[in-house]
Amino acid sequence: MKLLITGAGGTVGTMLRQGLRDSLAAEKRLLDINPIAPGIGEEFVLGDVTDLAVVRQAISDCDACVHLAAIPVESTFEKILQTNIRGTWAVFEAARLEGCPRVVFASSNHATGYYPIHHRISPSDPPRPDSYYGASKLFGEVLGSLYHDKYGVRVACIRIGSALPRPVDERHLSTWLSPGDLTRLVTACLTSPDLGYAIVYGASANRRGWWDLEPGRRLGYEPVDDAEVFAAEVEPGPPDEFQGGTFTRPEATP
């Protein structure tokens, strides 16, 4: 398999590259706006994900793309528009034009951040974005649906929780996606013969989890980690009312 990873130098990209190195026999092409030192089996392309010509060249001859490049937090509408919305369009359009059959899109739990904590939700529940950032991820999911229905691209949208080496605060006991489970979930999305179009939550098997992980399991994802193991070590803090945590606070949006 030849794989393009956009935004490969970010937090999730760095964790994923490490995980895939040992588990998935794939040649990787890494696209990032900042230089990265490629490892064994990796090729680096310096470029902007919002430039269709750049993405076309990067995705050509790839069997799949994991699209991670984005502003990963709340920001001004203009910045989100440029990187997250335009950039995601460029990836789907490049996949169509270059015949890349599968795209795994890094969506986010902030697509549903205004659900109250403890409320169990599944991807079939209505969106409740908590930020321009969360709304841009919903745009990516909807665009993926269009490119699947109209052009037959296989698309998995992963609503990533908190992809971190370990949970740091109380919220993470519900939202954590461990490095190993991130790798397992992305691998399932990259290899499942059953993938058409899917939205799945990306979380570990957290005892305090809020999200239905069944849609991921249907693609072959078997989470093994549980944030509870770190419960005694996380920073205690008054929980936010909503699942999206600080993103839901009005002052978070500029």
Nearest distance in Å: CB 83, ligand 15L: 12
| Both structure tokens of 196 | 């058409």
Backbone phi, psi, residue 188, to 5°? -60, -45
Nearest distance in Å: CB 72, ligand 15L: 3
Is 132 noted as a catalytic residue in this protein?
no
Question: Given candidates 110, 148, 154, 184, which one binds ligand 15L under the rule CB under 6 A?
Answer: 110
Active-site residue (options: 133, 147, 201, 221): 133
Nearest distance in Å: CB 109, ligand 15L: 5
* Residue 63: alpha-carbon gap to chain centroid: 18
Nearer to ligand 15L, 15 or 26 (CB): 15
SS3 of 147-205: HHHHHCCEEEEEEECEECCCCCECCHHHHEECHHHHHHHHHHHHHCCCCCEEEEEECCC
Say which residues have a Cβ less than 8 Å from residue 130's Cβ, sequence separation at least 6.
110, 113, 114, 242, 244, 247, 248
Is residue 109 at the binding interface for ligand 15L, with CB under 6 A as the rule?
yes
Is residue 17 at the binding interface for ligand 15L, with CB under 6 A as the rule?
no
CA nearest neighbour of 110 among 85, 87, 135, 78:
135
Q: CA dihedral defined by 209, 190, 99, 83, rounded to 10 degrees? A: 40
Per-residue binding letters, 155-174, with ligand 15L (x by CB under 6 A): -----x-x------------
Is residue 237 at the binding interface for ligand 15L, with CB under 6 A as the rule?
no
Is residue 73 at the binding interface for ligand 15L, with CB under 6 A as the rule?
yes
Nearest distance in Å: CB 247, ligand 15L: 7
- Contact range with ligand 15L by CB under 6 A, out of 97-105, 106-114, 196-204, 213-221: 106-114
CA atoms of 55 and 29, how far apart (whole Å): 11
Is residue 72 at the binding interface for ligand 15L, with CB under 6 A as the rule?
yes
- Give me the residues that bind ligand 15L (CB under 6 A), please: 72-73, 108-110, 160, 162, 175
Which residues are catalytically annotated?
133
